[in-house]
Structure 1
């Protein structure tokens, strides 16, 4: 396992310092400690505002206490990965928005509709996670975790599942919506177990049978097709109490027997229908063999009081599997059954698909290696474009699997691959090798790139063409930015789409990784502030910009047509092809693409690029300040214009708490009540607060006030007044780092001293 440091990592300490001053935290139960795996944990108590009728007892009827114990575990990869949150083991698991787990284990609340790692990379950093947890506990106390007026109904929680079923949920819901009275129908169902142990299930939702006799005549139930996947045919039962009966009680899944399944059917108002169908199966089906297992699927279609989270339907489809065993007469026995929960996965459908595009490329023999990080919708298209253009060989990295909704936009439009949930790397590799591209064999292509880089920083040292990051992941970006220039054999190119495919980002690093991709992203944030069309796409995203693709809080994808992605990927690929064919500019490159109003094309705008000057601030725990040389030159110009008087202004930019990096993106002019003297610059305040608030509002706090700068036109170091100014800023801003810069003819200087006041 190797040596584990006993010292609290800087990032963990910074996070704990912020947690302990959070207004909802009232006590530290256990100080930070490290487990045998190197993870650090802290145990705290959090105040929970209880309803009036529960305050005297200090606990609600649903078991939420006025002070709740919380365990926060920081993985060894923190802050690349988010911490894990746990509540006490006896916390009421009947609440919605709780992650799967077993009885007796600590309870893991689902506090955020998405990935906590992405929330960690928001401007509030760890405070964003604690804020969400406090909000979750408050809503649990008041019974408001299910918000039908806003978020929607939480799908049933499964603490464990035994597999997935691929089907078109929309068709099943449509049948339910058209039937006011209770219904029970048979559908054709196919399941298999391959010789390598992989299992799968498919429901043919387009073929329904009103009675079992019709189904038995159509195909031989329980037959084995003798294929490599040993496919069996069986029945799926769609059963419902009808749309007249609304089930408004949230029940986590606890079904593990046939009797419990019947009790659950009773709560849904359809027990009699299920009992009749199960009786028909045991009386009318004869299997090919004695002691043969037959798997039958039950789909409860339940009407809820409001639409499910992220979906346009109030009908929840809840699947279970029943395994029957045949007796000496080869009939399935209801006394020998096992019941297990399943998960529905959306099948490829008309609603999920979009048009694809075709593009002709000139073929040539190019041997520069391309590393593609992310083989999703955008990355697969870029890889396909470059492969068809004759580029390669390729290295492919992606840890995710192919889901049915990917068919709508992925370069691999293969419904069978979606149903088998194959890795995207395999599919993209198959796609580009079919057009003649070569693949560089690599170890662990399905492993998280963040983990790969932690174990092997020179992962891309032998790549001599381009390293392309198409993951749209802040965590991956941070991991790549920690790599030293000598460990990159080629420049890093980051590409992404925003605003439902209306804005495209193309950021190419400069020589010696200056500027880096994170500098270019920070510049994009500033461009969004200065440009309304770009800012609207960057900063005004809503839940309507996403589409849910399965069951669970994190099962969503950005709404974006294949046509739009194809427009952007074509331009990105064309420029990447030019870079591979020609010399790569030492200064790097930043392009922002805007979709035309008629949707017929993309206008790519070249943005000014600049090298980055790096300073370090803080005393014990250092922060890195990255400021464009263009902004430093602007300070120089303003200093010369104001000479012999001192001048100054406001620094705005972005803070990355995880990497302890501050990006200066812009300068604000001094307020009109500022004072300019030969020995001092006094920053005014008139209109300043309003101006900063406007910036934070427009950019959703992505950009904010960082600190100040002023000039020493005759040179010299920081004065006592300068250090006092930094100290005053630090007191006012608390744990938010403050920056005080001085421009001198000999260069920029950061005022030394503590920059945070936790």
Structure 2
């Protein structure tokens, strides 16, 4: 079967085949068959799970499994038990056996995120672990939500809370991309009430600002004031009252008088603002028209009709007897005036893109709109569900609608100026929205990820944009994290994310930061991945408010940022942790890429100097993205105590090494891993691989290449550090980091 993997389109399928046929260590699984069926890759394997003597579920010592891969790995594989007598009705399986076996639910994680680090070895081990947990009865924990009895369908009906009785009325019917959401209500919807005001609007000639005039209390007072400004208000008002559109409803409406006066600092200067006066007359238009001698009203049948007075009597009305209540005028805000009220120091707009309209995204977008900052494009492909309303700005009336559109609608109601547009799409699979997303990226000053998705972080790092940033919460919602590229993008978002994970593992101020990475999950619906974390709304709003303020400042700051704010739920206090941003050395722009932080080089040089004249070495730790082919080298572990060191050779020991690497992985929810080896060369010897070094690299390749993981070897010399990285079928790359002369 060694050559079969080359015919498969799925990279993950090829990785599984290589692992099962080439791995140096026994994989406790064997390959039965591998074939391609049109767009699908199908692999049949037999796994050997670890089993206790007493089993709660009848799992066999050898379990045949079929794995069905999507050709381009753009969807999660499907798993089928090929065992004819596999137990029916267990949780995390299908109830009925299909033509190609009984369906097994191996994981609940989001595929885009899981696929970042999923190798062939990890996939096989995940299957083995699934069978082991099933056999022991621990696959579904007592604290986990119950599994659904039937699978969910695409259309949705949302019923009122409380007693499920009715009668109900259809409140909304939404059709989005072929999927219906039916929103029910206990009461029928009503139409808006028509306004009872008739508006008379007049813009006066521009006026130079001056001392205050007396406030007019009657139509006479106002008319006299306007006469001094060159306007005969009563004459214009009389003509307006006699127009047919006013006389037709004169008995039902009253006057709303609006006067706009452009204001100048000097007669020659520009208009700097508009002052608005608003008045009403308590009578109807018909009564006002009769007082002015302009109209009369009479009964015609059962209706009261108003008509124009054709002959003027010659007597002048007493305008002082017509009271004119004035209104307080408060101007609506646009972004410019909102910035004044919000004490926002920035005076210019910024064009921003938000990926994600959830807990952080919806609150930050709303807060920054209120602060007068940002012309946002919000990108999200999800719809509002009832549990979202606990911590997002969307309310119950928005359930069923696309989150992006709801946030757009609601945010654009905050000010009198639209600030938000929406794109309903997944940035990782944009479909027909790809051009719109690309255009938004190209125009944005900052593209901000609110999705808490490592896949999105990687996506943004590879895009041609001006700058990217990411805000997300720790798993328990007590901490806020900010990662922000610099204006020149010398530090890409995925590189900052990698450094953040290394800091989580090494900074004592961040102990327990990711401790709840897989705990406290609530099932909010009846589909397999319908899981959410409980987050108190006050924490969400407090940390989101902080995120909004930080984003406003970030727009004008050119430097990279990596910060964590830790919230003490008891006191409400925040501990800011500013993490150092390290210089990054990049290598490769093809199927394999590698980055090395300057701290790694500095640490190797320090260990080399202390061990001189002997050689020394250790292991490299970092993170990697299996889908994008990127490995980040972040830290070094020095030589274990049982290592052998001499001026001409170094043999690394293993004492206490594995537990140390495991501690780093546990602290970062599995993100930090072993990625390779390093050693030093003495003065006078180039930092280039010797024949023995080539054997070390071949050893790395033979053990890690079949597994699907990247492998890195680095040699630290007197004047530079040499690097070589290899990875599965992607090939290898080499690079050199010159040392600082100082």
Q: Does TM, scored on the shorter chain, surpass 0.5?
A: yes
Aligned match of 1:482 = 462
Aligned match of 1:431 = 410
**CA shift digits 1:569-604 (9 cap, x unpaired):** 222221210122x2422xx11111111363423222
Shift of 1:105: 8.1
Aligned match of 2:76 = 82
Q: Are the structure 2 counterparts of residues 193 and 433 from structure 1 closer, same or farther at C-alpha, using a change threshold of 3 Å?
A: closer
Q: Answer yes or no: is 1:636 the counterpart of 2:594.
A: no
Q: Which runs of 5+ in 2 are unaligned?
A: 1-5, 192-339, 732-742
Q: Answer yes or no: is 1:717 the counterpart of 2:688.
A: yes
Aligned match of 1:659 = 628
What TM-score do you get using the length of structure 1 for normalisation?
A: 0.64
Alpha-carbon separation, structure 1, partners of 2:449 and 2:593: 23
Shift of 1:630: 2.6
Aligned match of 2:479 = 503
Q: Answer yes or no: is 1:548 the counterpart of 2:556.
A: no
Alpha-carbon separation, structure 2, partners of 1:677 and 1:644: 8
What is the SS of the residue equivalent to 2:442?
Answer: coil
Q: Answer yes or no: is 1:44 the counterpart of 2:44.
A: yes
What is the SS of the residue equivalent to 2:679?
Answer: strand
Aligned match of 1:115 = 110
Pairs within 5 Å for 1:93-112: 94-98=89-93, 108-112=103-107
Shift of 1:131: 3.8
Aligned match of 2:657 = 688
Bigger Cα displacement from structure 2, 553-562 vs 736-745: 736-745
Q: Are the structure 2 counterparts of residues 438 and 726 from structure 1 closer, same or farther at C-alpha, using a change threshold of 3 Å?
A: same
Aligned match of 1:579 = 554
Assess if the C-alpha contact under 8 Å between 1:535 and 1:699 holds in 2. no
**CA shift digits 1:704-755 (9 cap, x unpaired):** 3322222234334211111112223444556243321012344321247788
Q: Are the structure 2 counterparts of residues 407 and 10 from structure 1 closer, same or farther at C-alpha, using a change threshold of 3 Å?
A: closer
Assess if the C-alpha contact under 8 Å between 1:163 and 1:200 holds in 2. yes
What TM-score do you get using the length of structure 2 for normalisation?
A: 0.66
Shift of 1:524: 1.8
- Bigger Rg over Cα: 2
Bigger Cα displacement from structure 2, 11-20 vs 99-108: 99-108
Q: Are the structure 2 counterparts of residues 471 and 676 from structure 1 closer, same or farther at C-alpha, using a change threshold of 3 Å?
A: same
Aligned match of 1:408 = 390
Aligned match of 2:506 = 530
Shift of 1:460: 4.7
- Of 372, 379, 383, which residue of structure 1 is paired with 2:365? 383
Aligned match of 2:148 = 155
Alpha-carbon separation, structure 1, partners of 2:656 and 2:28: 33
Alpha-carbon separation, structure 1, partners of 2:646 and 2:543: 52
Q: Are the structure 2 counterparts of residues 202 and 143 from structure 1 closer, same or farther at C-alpha, using a change threshold of 3 Å?
A: farther
What is the SS of the residue equivalent to 1:667?
Answer: strand
Assess if the C-alpha contact under 8 Å between 1:506 and 1:590 holds in 2. yes
Q: Are the structure 2 counterparts of residues 74 and 478 from structure 1 closer, same or farther at C-alpha, using a change threshold of 3 Å?
A: farther
Q: Are the structure 2 counterparts of residues 755 and 103 from structure 1 closer, same or farther at C-alpha, using a change threshold of 3 Å?
A: closer
Aligned match of 2:565 = 593
Aligned match of 2:723 = 750
Q: Answer yes or no: is 1:737 the counterpart of 2:710.
A: yes
Q: Answer yes or no: is 1:610 the counterpart of 2:591.
A: no
Q: Are the structure 2 counterparts of residues 435 and 696 from structure 1 closer, same or farther at C-alpha, using a change threshold of 3 Å?
A: closer
Aligned match of 1:703 = 672
Shift of 1:478: 2.5
Pairs within 5 Å for 1:313-392: 361-362=342-343, 366-392=348-374
Q: Answer yes or no: is 1:26 the counterpart of 2:30.
A: yes
Assess if the C-alpha contact under 8 Å between 1:590 and 1:606 holds in 2. yes
What is the SS of the residue equivalent to 1:574?
Answer: helix
**CA shift digits 1:595-642 (9 cap, x unpaired):** 13634232222211122112469xxx9643321123223333444555
Shift of 1:434: 1.4
What is the SS of the residue equivalent to 2:602?
Answer: helix
**How many corresponding residue pairs?**
562
Aligned match of 1:397 = 379
Shift of 1:190: 1.4
What is the SS of the residue equivalent to 1:608?
Answer: coil
Assess if the C-alpha contact under 8 Å between 2:563 and 2:579 holds in 1. yes
**CA shift digits 1:19-42 (9 cap, x unpaired):** 6668464333342x263xxx4412
Q: Answer yes or no: is 1:72 the counterpart of 2:48.
A: no
Assess if the C-alpha contact under 8 Å between 2:621 and 2:674 holds in 1. yes
**CA shift digits 1:368-420 (9 cap, x unpaired):** 200000010101111112111111211110011111111111123x21112xx
Bigger Cα displacement from structure 2, 513-522 vs 110-119: 110-119
**CA shift digits 1:670-720 (9 cap, x unpaired):** 233444443333334444344334434444543233222222343342111
What is the SS of the residue equivalent to 1:494?
Answer: strand
Coordinate RMSD, CA, aligned: 4.3
Assess if the C-alpha contact under 8 Å between 1:494 and 1:508 holds in 2. yes
Q: Are the structure 2 counterparts of residues 194 and 89 from structure 1 closer, same or farther at C-alpha, using a change threshold of 3 Å?
A: farther
Shift of 1:517: 1.7
What is the SS of the residue equivalent to 1:449?
Answer: coil
Assess if the C-alpha contact under 8 Å between 1:727 and 1:755 holds in 2. no
Q: Which runs of 5+ in 1 are unaligned?
A: 173-185, 205-218, 220-224, 229-358
Shift of 1:477: 2.0
Assess if the C-alpha contact under 8 Å between 1:639 and 1:646 holds in 2. yes
Q: Are the structure 2 counterparts of residues 650 and 552 from structure 1 closer, same or farther at C-alpha, using a change threshold of 3 Å?
A: same
Alpha-carbon separation, structure 1, partners of 2:594 and 2:658: 23
